[in-house]
């Protein structure tokens, strides 16, 4: 498609020069020292959405599986943290991996029987899955989830008895540290046989199988990892809000995560950050026009999909440096 001029234009969006992540990290680090608590909290939720976007990006972006029930995994992580912390006083940070494992295990059990479904069929089943989780939470099974009111009194994360994460700025750094580590891990995965296998399945499932990729295994792995990361987001969210309730995990949340991945560009990590920024910051920026902000939000999304259907920052491929052989042929068409 893109030759000549248009290739030059799209290059602007698809290449990631080294200073972009450096500047972005620097901005993340210094931002809270110049912002009020209110704006730090907005950036905290930007971080939560970034984490959720990254988690759905594994399933939707890398493997192309339509998952519109991702809020279900997020809810499992949040509730596991809230319940185990309030009942057994297990520290929040110790529950971080527990939430991830619980959400991952849940994804494994629920997705195993449905993993062979394609496209829209999988989409509908995952919507059902997300709704079942939410309805189950409302119905207060075994008196654990507190019904529509949810669970109250979730503790602060404690690094040590004296080092308690309880202010906005500390939560901000907690979530962005987790986002940073997740990004590093996910970039590694993108450039591994696992990341390639995921992309192959997205591109052509039959060909992936015929190329020796265990399609079922890698689809399930994506769901488990994606759910685990959503569980991590749930853990941080639960302790930040100090309470969890079913209304935080509605179908709308799943839709927002879906939008984050689509806006940014499927399978693109910088894209997820842009999508999450859009989802979390846009409603704040347009708060003065409260009545119309959802109208503008919707319109922007429509225009966005018409103008850049591949997302705002699609992933650029071909990061592996090609040595020897290309040099002989004169590096060709770079």
Partner 1 sequence: MAMPRRLADNDVVLKTTGITKIFGGLRAVSDFDLSVHKGEILSLIGPNGAGKTTVFNVVTGIYSPEHGDVVFLGKKITGRKPHSIVSSGIARTFQNIRLFPDMTCLENIMAGQHCRARSGIFSSVFRTPAMRREEERIRTVAEQRIAQVELAPFAHELAKNIAYGSQRMLEIARALATEPRLLVLDEPSSGLNPKETQDLMSFLKRLIASEDLTILLIEHDMNVVMGISDWVVVMDEGKKIAEGIPDAIYNNPDVIEAYLGRDEGEA
Which residue's CB is nearer to partner 1, number 144 or number 326?
326
Stretch that binds partner 1, among 36-44, 69-77, 183-191, 284-292 (CB under 8 A): 183-191
CA 15, CA 279: separation in Å to the nearest integer? 23
In the chain, at which residue ranges do the beta strands (DSSP E only) sit?
151-152, 158-160, 163-164, 243-244
Which residue's CB is nearer to partner 1, number 161 or number 318?
318
Between residue 194 and residue 223, which ones bind partner 1 under the rule CB under 8 A?
Answer: 194-197, 199-200, 203-204, 206-216, 221
Which residue's CB is nearer to partner 1, number 100 or number 215?
215
Q: Considering CB under 8 A, how many residues would be counted as binding partner 1? A: 41
What would the two tokens of residue 202 be? 């997205």
Provide the minimum distance between the beta carbon of 184 and partner 1 in the complex, in angstroms, as a whole number.
9
Site string for partner 1, 314-333 (x = CB under 8 A): ---xx-x-xxxxx-xx--xx
Q: Does 36 bind partner 1 (CB under 8 A)?
A: no
Axis crossing angle, helix 70-88 with helix 215-241, rounded to the nearest 10:
50
Provide the minimum distance between the beta carbon of 76 and partner 1 in the complex, in angstroms, as a whole number.
20
Bridge partners for 160 per DSSP: 163
Q: What is the DSSP string of 109-149?
A: HHHGGGTT--HHHHHHHHHHHHHHHHHHHHT-GGG-S-GGG
Residue 240 · residue 40 · CB < 8 Å: no
Q: Does 180 bind partner 1 (CB under 8 A)?
A: no
Sign of CA dihedral 101, 66, 253, 270: positive
Tell me which residues touch partner 1 (CB under 8 A).
1, 185, 188-189, 191-197, 199-200, 203-204, 206-216, 221, 225, 317-318, 320, 322-326, 328-329, 332-334
């Amino acid at each position: 498609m893109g030759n000549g001029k248009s290739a030059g234009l799209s290059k602007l969006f698809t290449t990631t020069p080294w200073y972009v992540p450096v500047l972005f990290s620097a901005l993340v680090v210094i931002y809270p020292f110049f912002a009020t608590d209110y704006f730090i909290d907005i950036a905290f939720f930007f971080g939560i959405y970034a984490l959720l976007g990254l988690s759905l990006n594994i399933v939707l972006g890398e493997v192309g599986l339509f998952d519109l029930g991702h809020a279900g995994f997020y809810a499992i992580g949040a509730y596991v943290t809230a319940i185990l912390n309030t009942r057994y006083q297990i520290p929040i940070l110790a529950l971080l991996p527990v939430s991830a494992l619980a959400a991952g295990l849940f994804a494994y059990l629920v997705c195993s029987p449905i993993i062979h479904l394609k496209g829209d069929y999988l989409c509908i089943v995952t919507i059902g899955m997300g709704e079942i989780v939410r309805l189950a939470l409302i119905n207060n099974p075994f008196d654990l989830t507190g019904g529509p009111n949810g669970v109250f009194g979730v503790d602060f994360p404690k690094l040590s008895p004296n080092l308690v994460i309880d202010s906005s700025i500390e939560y901000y750094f907690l979530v962005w540290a987790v986002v940073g580590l997740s990004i590093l891990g996910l970039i590694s995965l993108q450039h591994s046989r696992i990341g390639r296998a995921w992309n192959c399945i997205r591109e052509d499932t039959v060909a992936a199988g015929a190329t020796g990729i265990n399609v079922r295994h890698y689809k399930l792995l994506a769901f488990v990892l994606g759910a685990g990361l959503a569980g991590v987001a749930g853990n941080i969210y639960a302790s930040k809000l100090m309470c969890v309730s079913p209304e935080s995990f509605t179908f709308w949340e799943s839709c927002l995560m879906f939008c984050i991945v689509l806006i940014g560009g499927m399978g693109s990590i910088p894209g997820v950050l842009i999508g999450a920024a859009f989802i979390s910051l846009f409603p704040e920026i347009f708060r003065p026009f409260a009545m119309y902000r959802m109208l503008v939000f919707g319109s922007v999304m429509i225009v966005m999909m018409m103008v850049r259907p591949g997302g705002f920052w699609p992933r650029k491929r071909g990061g592996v440096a090609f040595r020897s052989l290309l040099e002989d042929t004169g590096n060709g068409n770079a």
